[in-house]
Chains A and B, each alone.
Chain A
């Protein structure tokens, strides 16, 4: 058989365990052996599920290894990595989990997986010096209001109706500390230097941070947040986010 056609047949049989072995295989005994072809089938699945388990370790702890492997296999069956960069594999796994019926009993699971996906992206993101308070400190309030800040290349903001940051933190060690305070959380994942940090933001700062990350100016974000929450403290929230290294630069607006 011509090379392209025979390799295509091999790949098809590899990906579909219900299909017969591809033509043209043999072995030392002069026949093709199912168990031998199964090694290749297994390698593909184990390689991909292992990559997912490495990236989504807390999700795996939450559902247990057997359930996780089943879920990862279901994902890997339909979605092969689009490139040899396995470090990117699983970007869509959280959305898949959200639609995976057997996981519905754990409504917070997709957001935990989103946090874990963001963690790896932050780990491999471009390096950049975070925007410091010193750059903004000299500005008058009216100048500050027009500024739009560019999030740090590693930064991701996750707003969840579940205590997703606390759940994630509780599963970092071998002992799991139960999460008592079951409430919505906004989580900032960011790597200002070499360590990826996961911060649960103060409740009042969540909306403000989300508006800034969506590209809103400081003034517009502050105003919209104040309208929802008259007790919101603009200065403290901004200082807080800058201290965590959430931004890399001023994207738009003048600094005199």
Chain B
């Protein structure tokens, strides 16, 4: 793990880099495929976050994940924020940069949540403009992530997958497929998660996300899954992930665990689980190749 290729993330399990694990990661150098950080946590002027990220990025491939650009906002992108992203990308040269198909900024301020938008020709045009602008500003391709949603819009006329694919086709961006988000949205909207994966343009996917959801019921007593990032990946999401790999082949896969962050060994155990599935798929593919 010396010279890190800058082109792309490896098709391995990756983990979020959390401040409480900085010291352990640098000392123990755990066998993890890559680390991912939220860009906004590294926008301070200096201090330990930068010191540790520099050290970790010299040892592991890095994925930079934005949670505040608000690509799905009706209003304009924040150019100051684009500049900050550019600085981070120039400084750390991550193998991947990703953001969400969602909005979080409004004229009342930053709302600190990934909010849904209707899928219409108008919103498709706006999102595509924003992705274009962002890619210009940061000087590289970004991966756009499918959201987890709890409600739908009556005015939506475009299916979510078609929407994502159209943005990618118009802007050249890649896609980040969050399999937990697929499960959450599909259960919440009574859709078949396997059918979603079947239709997803996997050839555009640069990274996969996995996470643990929470579960409750809505006013009608229907299952309502919440994207919570505070627990191990659930069994049904793991099965859906394996199905995704069977279709797409091995892909860089991040385990998102951002709340109630456990001790590092618990996180690492999740990565080991995912690496085993990745290795299984790789072996099956090799076997098929040899057999064919």
Residue interface mask A90-132, B partner, CB < 8 A = 1: 0000000000000000000000000000000011111100000
CB distance from B19 to the nearest CB of A (A): 10
CB distance from B64 to the nearest CB of A (A): 14
Contacts of A7 in B (CB 8 A): 73-75, 103, 106, 117
B67 touches A84 (CB 8 A): yes
Per a CB cutoff under 8 Å, which of B69, B111, B190 touches A11?
B111
Kindly state the separation between the CA atoms of A24 and B155 in the bound complex, as whole angstroms: 7
Contacts of B190 in A (CB 8 A): 28
Kindly state the separation between the CA atoms of A191 and B51 in the bound complex, as whole angstroms: 13
**Interface flag for A137 (CB, 8 Å):** no
B113 touches A47 (CB 8 A): yes
Which of A11, A44, A50, A80 is the most central at the interface, judged by chain B CB atoms within 10 Å of its CB? Answer: A11
CB distance from A155 to the nearest CB of B (A): 13
A123 touches B47 (CB 8 A): yes
CB distance from A2 to the nearest CB of B (A): 8
B109 touches A80 (CB 8 A): yes
Residue interface mask B217-232, A partner, CB < 8 A = 1: 1111010101000000
A4 touches B151 (CB 8 A): no
A124 touches B44 (CB 8 A): yes
CB distance from B270 to the nearest CB of A (A): 22
A124 touches B155 (CB 8 A): no
A28 touches B189 (CB 8 A): yes
Per a CB cutoff under 8 Å, which of A25, A28, A40 touches B154?
A25
A39 touches B226 (CB 8 A): yes
Per a CB cutoff under 8 Å, which of B105, B113, B120 touches A44?
B113
B110 touches A82 (CB 8 A): yes
**Interface flag for A51 (CB, 8 Å):** yes
Kindly state the separation between the CA atoms of A170 and B107 in the bound complex, as whole angstroms: 41
**Interface flag for B45 (CB, 8 Å):** yes
CB distance from B190 to the nearest CB of A (A): 4
Kindly state the separation between the CA atoms of A240 and B131 in the bound complex, as whole angstroms: 53
Kindly state the separation between the CA atoms of A8 and B60 in the bound complex, as whole angstroms: 42
Per a CB cutoff under 8 Å, which of B111, B126, B218 touches A36?
B218
B150 touches A86 (CB 8 A): no
Kindly state the separation between the CA atoms of A44 and B114 in the bound complex, as whole angstroms: 9
Contacts of B75 in A (CB 8 A): 4, 7
Give chain A's interface residue range (CB within 8 Å of chain B).
35 or more
Contacts of B188 in A (CB 8 A): 27-28, 36
Chain A residue nearest to B217 (CB atoms) is: A35
B44 touches A84 (CB 8 A): no
Residue interface mask B187-211, A partner, CB < 8 A = 1: 0111100000000000000000000
CB distance from B255 to the nearest CB of A (A): 20
A14 touches B115 (CB 8 A): yes
**Interface flag for B6 (CB, 8 Å):** no
B47 touches A124 (CB 8 A): yes
Chain B positions 105-143 with a Cβ under 8 Å from a chain A Cβ: 105-113, 115, 117-118, 120, 122-123, 126
**Interface flag for A83 (CB, 8 Å):** yes
B46 touches A33 (CB 8 A): no
Instruction: Decide yes or no: A48 and B45 within 8 Å by CB, A33-B151, A84-B81, A87-B40 being known contacts.
Output: no
B155 touches A1 (CB 8 A): yes
Contacts of A36 in B (CB 8 A): 150-151, 188, 218-219, 224
Contacts of B120 in A (CB 8 A): 3
**Interface flag for B5 (CB, 8 Å):** no
Contacts of B106 in A (CB 8 A): 7-8, 11
Kindly state the separation between the CA atoms of A83 and B75 in the bound complex, as whole angstroms: 14
**Interface flag for B2 (CB, 8 Å):** no
Per a CB cutoff under 8 Å, which of A35, A39, A84, A194 touches B47?
A194
Contacts of B70 in A (CB 8 A): 84
Contacts of A154 in B (CB 8 A): 47
Kindly state the separation between the CA atoms of A123 and B48 in the bound complex, as whole angstroms: 7
B110 touches A81 (CB 8 A): yes
Instruction: Decide yes or no: A37 and B112 within 8 Å by CB, A7-B103, A83-B78, A85-B43 being known contacts.
Output: no
B219 touches A125 (CB 8 A): no
Contacts of A43 in B (CB 8 A): 112-113
CB distance from A175 to the nearest CB of B (A): 21
A6 touches B45 (CB 8 A): no
**Interface flag for A10 (CB, 8 Å):** yes
| Given A3-B117, A80-B110, A123-B48, 8 further pairs, Cβ under 8 A | A7-B74, A27-B218, A29-B222, A36-B188, A81-B110, A85-B43, A125-B45, A194-B48
Tell me the A residues contacting B by CB distance below 8 Å. 1-4, 6-8, 10-11, 14-15, 24-29, 32-37, 39-40, 43-44, 47-48, 50-51, 79-87, 122-127, 153-154, 191, 194
Which 5 A/B pairs are nearest by Cβ-Cβ distance? A84-B68, A124-B44, A80-B109, A127-B46, A126-B45
Can you report 8 residue pairs joining A to B where beta carbons are below 8 Å apart? A3-B123, A25-B153, A28-B190, A29-B222, A33-B219, A47-B112, A84-B70, A85-B68
